[in-house]
Structure 1
Amino acid sequence: MVEEEDLEALGEQLYSWIYPKHKETAGKLTGMLLELPGSVLSQMLQDEAMLTAAVEKSLRALQQSQQAGEMTCKDEDDLSVSSDSLGEQLFELVDVYNTGNSQKVTGMLLEQHKDRVLNLLSDPKLLEEQVNLALKTLKKQNMEETDISDLSDADDTEKLGEKLFSLVEEMDPLRANDITGMLLEMDPAALQQVLSDHSMLEVAVQKAQAALDA
């Protein structure tokens, strides 16, 4: 974890390097790069090619977010941005974080409503939160896929129940028992599919919550 003083020192070094080349956007570019992990920033400052590439990525992302910001000011019915175009812009922004899963994270973020995606393009802080959330989901899915592969017996309800409960508890701790019980009534094959797909699980939990509320 980078200390605040270290981060400030890194910021000053970045700014002094960026300013001569990009006077008008030096502050914003520095701020965007400071969202990266401290270890990555230190490495960049020692590798000019790496730093140049990161600055160029951030500059493109900044220009695209400004364009997206201008677009949101237009009539909202006129949001004719194609998914491909949004995907390309979003990928450029996500790729700055060097997650190693830029393609997957971008795909997950693009599943949201178009207005929400446009917000991500123009709000770096919101984008960072969503990228981190997507990475956590990916990590969890990878763990689940590994676990699910061991559950070859469809009647292994106990293991499925434990796994399901731990996931449901994160979404609705107060009613986790009830919701888990309802979901365990599903066909075992469908249940395993739900366990390996976080978005399907969320939908299933929401349906169970609606049934409980009713």
Structure 2
Amino acid sequence: MRGNMIKDDEVETLGEQLYTRIFPQHSEHAGKLTGMLLELPAPVLNRMLQDEVMLATAVEKAVRALEVDLHQEHSKTTSREEDDGSVSSDSLGEQLFNLIDVYNTGYSQKITGMLLEQHKEAVLKLLSDPEQLEKQLNTALKTLQQQRAEETDISDTSDGEDAESLGETLFLQVEELDPLHAHEITGMLLEMDIGVLRKLLHERHLLEAAVQKAQSALGS
């Protein structure tokens, strides 16, 4: 899944900086957490080291993933005795959720539920095929965004129209900055309050910063 392979000397430098930042709060697993974050592309890691909120979010997700791994390790012996060749639905769901959560769509739980409706073989394929996962994730995200837009229109027509108008204007501006991921980024930004969105539309530098943050979350 790594977009840019990081050189060995760069890995060492980034690893040292990450370890230093992670150790005070997570001394017991600092090494493992650092290793997990080093799987991300170098530009994302550099941005993360300059953005405390982004780093804290990434560490939190890594901690959750590590807890899942440790839990699975602990329960592997008993579950394998019962059925050596099967993977439980709960385990699949946790693994899938952790992968989807990296994209920071704001709909991780719902998208996981949608993708888990497939056959177990199809879900297992998603866990080992990042491109297929991203494709299905984007399809599910668009479906959820359409549903949300429809619900907003029904619940409050004036607010719905306002949000729809903002969404269209926002999409056009985001498309200029990142045509490839305009749909996903717009969906992420629409999670913000309407007041904040209006500010983004009037102050270009704020919009550019928000788009960059969303790009980092998408791993682009």
Larger RCO (CA under 8 A, 6+ residues apart):
2
- Greater gyration radius: 1
